[in-house]
Amino acid sequence: MNDRLQELTVFVRVGESGSFTRAARDMNLSQPSVSRIIGELETRLGVKLLLRTTRRLTLTTAGEKFLERARDVLASLDEAEDAARGIDSLRGAIRVALPVVFGTREVIPRLPEFLALHPLLRMELRVSDAYQDLVAEGVDVAIRLGKLADSTFGARRLATLPKYVVAAPAYLKARGIPRSPADLANHDCIFGPNGFGRESWIFKRRNTIISVDVTGRIHTDSGPGLYASAVAGLGIAQASAAMCGAELRSGTLVALLTDYALEPVDVHAVFPGGPRPSTKVQAFTDHLMTALNAGPLASTT
């Protein structure tokens, strides 16, 4: 039975990552051992699960069906073990993908309390604003900000962040303070990961929607790049509470147009394995949701 469980575990990791080498690294096995285990599994089943070329591995139709069922078997086994141990005896690793600013400012500072409650758990953190193939990386849960793309992943909304229009005092001294959204058309605006060149910024005031076209010379593909550009006085930016709260408190940045509301930013936990996360992942997202909503975020004004 242990051999068959190892076969399932190895096959799932190979199927998700598309690589013997990556699966071997993740499972602390040698690449020849992984190849041998998959070969023995295919021989026992009498079907080809993977197509091997010099460049990549792809699942056959039988392999895709087997991968789906194997995931369910392993997930059910994890749940059974967790149920037997109880919520206070969770163990193993949770692989978490985090965006840089929100991860470092709002998630990681909340880990000590969670890990103290579950001393047998380990956290593997992938902190990046770059696109990640969550399935290939073996991620259990990803924290994502903003609107989610349609996918087969499961998701859970954890919190909602207010968003501000901000600028550095030096920029405002040189260019003046905008008094209405329309004034932004005469300013340099900074564009984050979701905007480039000319775009519309949308405000709401007393149930009235206000749209203004803005332009600017700075575009960045990361949260740190966005707030660093604003702090450097390169223009006016939109930033969530998690991104700019500390700077607003210190006066490094100034909130503008506070009588006008921007669309807030939703924080989601995304589950690449599907809508039913494991018990340990459920425990982590429960903790994070409670911590984020217990009071104002640590970095808000």
Q: Are the beta carbons of 279 and 90 closer than 8 angstroms?
A: yes
User: What does the pLDDT read at residue 259?
Assistant: 94
Residue ranges in the chain whose pLDDT is less than 70: 1-2, 54, 82-89, 150, 194-198, 295-301
Q: Which strand (E) or helix (H) includes residue 222?
A: none
Predicted TM-score of the model (pTM):
0.71
Q: How far apart are the first and last CA of the chain?
A: 56
59-73 pLDDT tens trace:
888 888 888 888 878
User: What does the pLDDT read at residue 257?
Assistant: 95
**Would you say the C-alpha torsion 46, 51, 54, 55 has a positive or negative sign?**
negative
Q: How many angstroms separate the CA atoms of 290 and 159, rounded?
A: 9
168-203 pLDDT tens trace:
999 999 999 999 999 999 999 999 876 544 588 999
Residue 300: CB partners within 8 Å, gap ≥ 6?
162, 241, 242, 245
User: What does the pLDDT read at residue 300?
Assistant: 40
Q: Are the beta carbons of 164 and 248 closer than 8 angstroms?
A: yes
Q: Are the beta carbons of 170 and 163 closer than 8 angstroms?
A: no
- Number of Cα atoms under 13 Å in the Cβ half of residue 183: 11
User: What does the pLDDT read at residue 2?
Assistant: 64
What is the DSSP annotation of 85-106?
H-GGG--EEEEEEE-HHHIIII
Residue 35: CB partners within 8 Å, gap ≥ 6?
20
Q: Are the beta carbons of 257 and 187 closer than 8 angstroms?
A: no
How many residues are listed for the chain in this entry? 301
User: What does the pLDDT read at residue 25?
Assistant: 85
